[in-house]
Chain A
Amino acid sequence: GAVVSQHPSRVICKSGTSVKIECRSLDFQATTMFWYRQFPKQSLMLMATSNEGSKATYEQGVEKDKFLINHASLTLSTLTVTSAHPEDSSFYICSANPRLAGGTDTQYFGPGTRLTVL
């Protein structure tokens, strides 16, 4: 249980294009999903918290107009990197909290999407 998928797993694009990454909770509903980015040999950096049916909450320093988040349903959140540039190249990972009874804060992570902007 508690499986999270991401698509695509890898994307290479030209500078200036937009890229959409999907995050799905496969066997549970997730009212909240999280988006992280990770640079090589570094830890996860939280970008934003995605809430179903409302606007995402962005961390300080993350450009909300560049990283568009849509949480249209209880099983799907999307991250769109608009007008991508080489410095946006990174490993993007989503996670979701099943919000099980008992109040656990455990998050389950997707396999990640490697974005390379040429």
Chain B
Amino acid sequence: QKEVEQDPGPLSVPEGAIVSLNCTYSNSAFQYFMWYRQYSRKGPELLMYTYSSGNKEDGRFTAQVDKSSKYISLFIRDSQPSDSATYLCAMSAGGFQKLVFGTGTRLLVSP
């Protein structure tokens, strides 16, 4: 079993839809949770960072962490074609340890 599980997609939605992206994990020591967006042939771009459980909102993006269920989510409101990319969840146990990544979910937003 992988430490972090993420559905690879692709997830296809129409423009304006609310998108829900999710990851599950098995290591209860994880405390720091991140979402990255990666366009084709580019490096990942940090979207959201969350420490421990709870919600965090930034513009159209909302990150949720449920440590009791070992489940994290990223919601994108009013999705745009420019949101079409691969979204990677990442997490770590802290102490500047290495990140553990999900496989990434490919999102396609059609006009």
Contacts and interface: CB of A to CB of B under 8 A. Distances in A.
B interface bracket (residues with beta carbon within 8 Å of A): 20 to 34
Interface string A102-118: 01111111111010000
Interface stretch (A38-46, A60-68, A71-79, A80-88): A38-46
Interface of B: 32, 34, 36, 41-46, 49, 51, 88, 90, 92, 94-99, 101-104
Given A99-B96, A107-B99, A112-B41, 18 more contacts: A6-B43, A32-B96, A34-B98, A34-B99, A43-B88, A43-B103, A44-B101, A91-B41, A95-B43, A103-B95, A104-B49, A105-B92, A105-B95, A105-B97, A108-B46, A111-B42, A111-B43, A114-B41
Contact of B43 (A43, A106, A112): A112
B94 A105 contact: yes
Interface string A1-40: 0001010000000000000000000000000101000000
Interface residues of A, number: 25
Interface of A: 4, 6, 32, 34, 42-44, 46, 49, 91, 93, 95, 97, 99, 103-112, 114
